[in-house]
Amino acid sequence: MPEELCHFIGGKTVAGTSGRYGEMFNPTTGEVAARVPFASSAEVEAAVTDSAKAFPTWAATSPLVRARVMFRFKSLIEENMDELAMLISRQHGKVLSDARGSVQRGLEVVEFACGIPHLLKGEFSDNVSRGIDLYSLRQPLGVATGITPFNFPAMVPLWMLAIAVACGNTFVLKPSEKDPGCSLRLGELMVSAGAPPGVLNVITGDREAVDALLTDERIAAVSFVGSTPVARHVYATAAAHGKRVQAMAGAKNHMVVLPDADIDQVVDALMGAGYGSAGERCMAISVVVAVGESTAETLRERLARRVRDLRVGPPTDPKSEMGPLVTREHLDKVKGYVDLGVEEGADLVVDGRSLRPEGHESGFFMGGCLFDHVTPDMRIYREEIFGPVLCMVRATSFEEALDLVDRHQFGNGVAVFTRDGDAAREFTHRVQAGMVGVNVPIPVPLSFYTFGGWKQSAFGDANQHGMDGVRFFTRTKTVTSRWPTGIRAGAEFVMPTLK
């Protein structure tokens, strides 16, 4: 019998009561691993109510005390790293090394949040006018919510909740219904770290739960990561209900390869960035732009050989370089894009659609696919595939390659590989994307900088983590203060000015 998961509300597991469930699969075997309760609007309201009750006490807790909770939370994540990584591998399909790496990147944001006493420091100006001081405070918003994707079951929730909670907010997390186990475990670890019940609640569900969160008047801020169509809905709905919103959306990340690039380095980078985590990353490289025919031919030959040799297998096998996709539905979608690319006239150099690892024929596996001679009018170029499919586009010049990147609807991440510092600097300054890598294929910033894309890759003005995260989960209060001195200046009827 499949396991039946629960919500995590008020510091304890709570069985679902809506009567609606979804199935969570083991992507390696294709079997149903658990039933996931889909929260009703009433269940969401109960979770928000619990977080709203917890907010005043948590907000009034000293930032020093909140930092100590975050330090203990960090330690507990480190102690349970293997368990969290195994949950991710079993429920999502990442190979174990990648799963551990994703938890580590989330943990780095927890480490950043441990510095919250410093991060919340305001400004002070002494004696701006006769006996008047001016200062600012950063204060929490109230109840915040995070709606997170299936591809990073630990990292993205930690990006959101660590900073929100450290800033003094309470948080309702709605993870993907495809693999919520890691988020539920993080809820337990937060309570074990000393956070009062209700500071972090976790509910599982589908669109009904999401819409209930987006429209609840007690939710002050919404953080989202997912596809562009859903991000648009989240942004528009939450903003219409008066909430702050940061919505990270889809991507089609390009790597521009200039003729002077180290091709061996490029191929290594593309293998990891294009096929790591089965391409199920919003920062995956899904388009390589080869500048010059010689560059393209050399790159095609070396890439094809490596893609054919890609070791695809169970995620817990140390020999596996790539595991399965998350669900049968998603596997069929990705294969459908490969079919479409062939129909559109792209050259399918490596076809991984028929791959079936021995002993795991029912799992959601496919091999790496490589297209060449892809053109900007093709859907496989325009749309996010979110699978192990790499498209090669050929450009004749630096300017043509840069123009390709800039004209694409998405602007999440981009990379350029070159030995020419002048070309790299020119590219970095002119390219229309939020995150740029120079000889770095996946330029995800560290926790003390911010993560966010441009164009249709992000909605809202604030990025994830770093100081943008602190600003997003707090609001500024400015205080003008004067204490009686025994000297009365009389009533003034003009706008106060400096004297």
Other CB atoms within a 10 A radius of the CB of residue 41 amount to 16
Phi and psi torsions of 93, nearest 5°: 110, 5
CATH annotation of 253-438: 3.40.309.10
Active-site hit among 167, 182, 282, 369: 282
Q: Write phi, then psi, for 471 (nearest 5 degrees).
A: -65, -40
Please tell me the predicted confidence (pLDDT) of residue 494: 75
Q: What share of the chain is helix, strand, coil (3-state, %, to 5)?
A: 40, 25, 35
pLDDT at 1: 76
Q: Which residues, other chains included, contact 303 with Cβ-Cβ below 8 Å and sequence gap of 6+?
A: 267, 270, 271, 288, 349, 370, 390, 392
**Strand pairing category for 143-147 and 389-395:** unpaired
Known catalytic residue at 182 = no
Which residues are 417's β-sheet partners? 257
The pTM is what?
0.95
Residue 491: what pLDDT? Answer: 72
User: According to CATH, where is 3.40.309.10 located in the chain?
Assistant: 253-438
Query: Structurally, what CATH architecture does the domain formed by 3-249+457-479 represent?
Result: 3-Layer(aba) Sandwich (3.40)
- Could you report the per-residue pLDDT of 309-346, keeping only the tens digit for each? 999 999 999 999 999 999 999 999 999 999 999 999 99
Q: Which residues of the chain have pLDDT under 50?
A: none
Domain with CATH 3.40.605.10 in the chain: 3-249+457-479
pLDDT for 493 equals: 74
pLDDT recorded at residue 130: 87
Q: What is the pLDDT of residue 484?
A: 81
What Rg, from alpha-carbon coordinates, does the chain have? Answer: 25
